[in-house]
């Protein structure tokens, strides 16, 4: 027997409308309907979808690689969302080299190797730090001239972080050529779900045009135009060589590179914003984190990055980061059912799609305790006792789940903690027009970090006591 279908007043289209426009309410309805926390079925415009609610069942899904596959969904997403042509997709997915099953698999192995903990990641982190420092020096110049900067905080943080990481990853030429690229990427993120619906070009003309402009910028970087004179980080260059060897032209390679760049670029920018929001909107937490960083750096007015990244030296900083991800991640494990399989007493039938939203598990009282809905900065370092649950990182899934877990997760932690620490130690941020927390945009699907419903205006000034990077 399949999981019971969630009741809805509108047959056929009701679940699809709720999923597209009222997702948070849909999740609440699912929790109310399945008191046992067992899987629930949805009908998304004729496609049967199985919604998994618990960590235990998610583990079962991810272990069942022989019956539940990720590959078909990836091959469905790349052309529809990222804009790969069917020819490009076929070349990437069907060119084994004797070691890897395809050019795409080869590219993923390069990224996994470069971004795992080790020297390559350390070297890339150092390049990112240098790039961030240059961007902060530009902010300092503006503050020297104007004393105070009034900015839209989300846009400012997104562009600051995104510029630093893009220059480190792709070289400075990309953003010099297209100064609107990060704005285009934010628009692409807003259009992401609409692309998954497969809407024709005439119904989302602006979205198609915006994505096309992004493709052109990446294609020009790959070609021998001036924008490509400054090389990207070695592993991006190697991925592009892999694509060239299997016959892709510069434009197709650019589209492929865009996909990898977007996957590694977008979520940390948003996570930096939310970590700063939850910290700065709480003056006591701001003071505690600044004191912790200062102690870790031995009070020598130099930002010791190795200490910042050491969880033993900065436990509150790390705990806050994990709590931010718990509250703001909308990552979803997705699988295609290739053979019937039993999960928690129900049958997932061939052809169905399985979705395991991290948000349902991140707000499960059974995992996190009675204060599950509260933002608790020290949740992951507090002492567990009756009525108080210490957070367990094994229950946190902001980067998906093995074997398809995001390979950029280690750099994401470094990027967020270095950027947040640098801003907290360098600047004061004053909220303009109210002190309420920005709200998460939870009504529509998101495939990573959730954006705010609207931006917030702040005033940025230089702190009197400022640490510099070591």
Edge-to-edge strand ranges of the sheet holding 457-462: 149-152, 457-462, 427-431
- Residues 26, 19 contacting (CB under 8 angstroms): yes
Residue 49 · residue 43 · CB < 8 Å? yes
| Residue among 201, 226, 203, 221 at smallest CA distance from 211 | 201
> 53: which DSSP letter?
-
Prior bond to 295 cis, omega within 30? no
β pairing state of 47-51 and 353-357: parallel
Are the beta carbons of 69 and 32 closer than 8 angstroms? no
Q: Count of H helices and E strands in the chain?
A: 19, 12
Nearest of 171, 176, 158 to residue 127 by alpha carbon: 171
**Can you say whether the dihedral through the CA atoms of 442, 447, 450, 451 is positive or negative?**
negative
- Direct distance between the N- and C-terminal alpha carbons of the chain, in angstroms, rounded to an integer: 60
Look at residues 333, 362, 365, 337 and name the one whose alpha carbon lies nearest to residue 351.
337
314 annotated binding-site participant: no
Give the separation between CA 258 and CA 213, rounded to whole angstroms. 11
- List the structure tokens of 6: 């969630």
Binding site, annotated residues for heme: 406
Binding site, annotated residues: 406
């Amino acid at each position: 027997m399949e999981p019971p279908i969630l009741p809805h007043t509108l047959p056929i289209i009701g679940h699809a409308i709720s999923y597209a426009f009222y997702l948070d309410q849909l999740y609440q309805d699912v929790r109310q309907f399945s008191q046992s926390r067992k899987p629930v079925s949805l009908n998304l415009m004729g496609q049967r979808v199985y919604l998994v609610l618990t960590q235990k069942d998610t583990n079962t899904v991810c272990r069942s690689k022989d019956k539940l596959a990720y590959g078909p969904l990836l091959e469905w997403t790349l052309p529809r969302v990222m804009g790969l042509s069917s020819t490009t997709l076929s070349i990437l997915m069907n060119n084994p080299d004797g070691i890897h099953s395809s050019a795409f698999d080869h590219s993923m192995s390069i990224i996994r190797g470069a971004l795992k903990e080790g020297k390559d990641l350390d070297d890339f982190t150092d390049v990112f730090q240098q790039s961030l420092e240059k961007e902060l020096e530009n902010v300092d110049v503006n503050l020297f001239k104007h004393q105070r900067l009034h900015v839209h905080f989300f846009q400012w943080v997104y562009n600051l972080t995104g510029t630093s990481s893009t220059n480190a990853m792709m070289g400075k030429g990309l953003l010099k050529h297209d100064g609107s690229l990060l704005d285009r990427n934010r628009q692409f993120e807003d259009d992401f779900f609409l692309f998954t619906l497969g809407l024709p070009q005439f119904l989302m003309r602006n979205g198609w045009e915006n994505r096309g402009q992004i493709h052109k910028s990446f294609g020009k970087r790959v070609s021998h135009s001036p924008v490509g004179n400054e090389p990207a980080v070695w592993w991006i260059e190697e991925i592009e060589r892999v694509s060239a060897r299997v016959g892709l032209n510069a434009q197709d390679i650019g589209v492929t590179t865009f996909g990898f760049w977007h996957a590694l670029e977008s979520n940390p920018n948003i996570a930096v914003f939310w970590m700063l929001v939850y910290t700065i909107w709480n003056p006591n937490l701001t003071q505690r984190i600044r004191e912790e960083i200062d102690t870790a750096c031995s009070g020598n007015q130099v930002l010791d990055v190795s200490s910042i990244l050491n969880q033993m030296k900065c436990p509150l900083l790390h705990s806050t980061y994990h709590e931010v991800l718990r509250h703001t991640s909308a990552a979803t494990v997705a699988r295609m059912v290739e053979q019937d399989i039993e999960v928690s007493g129900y049958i997932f039938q061939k052809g169905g799609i399985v979705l395991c939203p991290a948000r349902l598990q991140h707000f499960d009282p059974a995992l996190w305790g009675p204060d599950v809905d509260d933002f608790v900065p020290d949740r992951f370092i507090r002492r567990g006792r009756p009525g108080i649950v210490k957070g367990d990182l094994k229950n946190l899934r902001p980067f998906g789940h093995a074997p398809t877990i995001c390979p950029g997760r280690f750099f994401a932690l470094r990027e967020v903690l270095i950027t947040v620490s640098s801003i907290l130690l360098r600047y004061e941020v004053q909220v303009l027009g109210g002190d309420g927390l920005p709200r998460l945009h939870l009504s529509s699907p998101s495939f990573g970090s959730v954006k705010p419903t609207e931006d917030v205006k702040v005033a940025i000034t230089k702190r009197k006591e400022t640490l510099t990077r070591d």
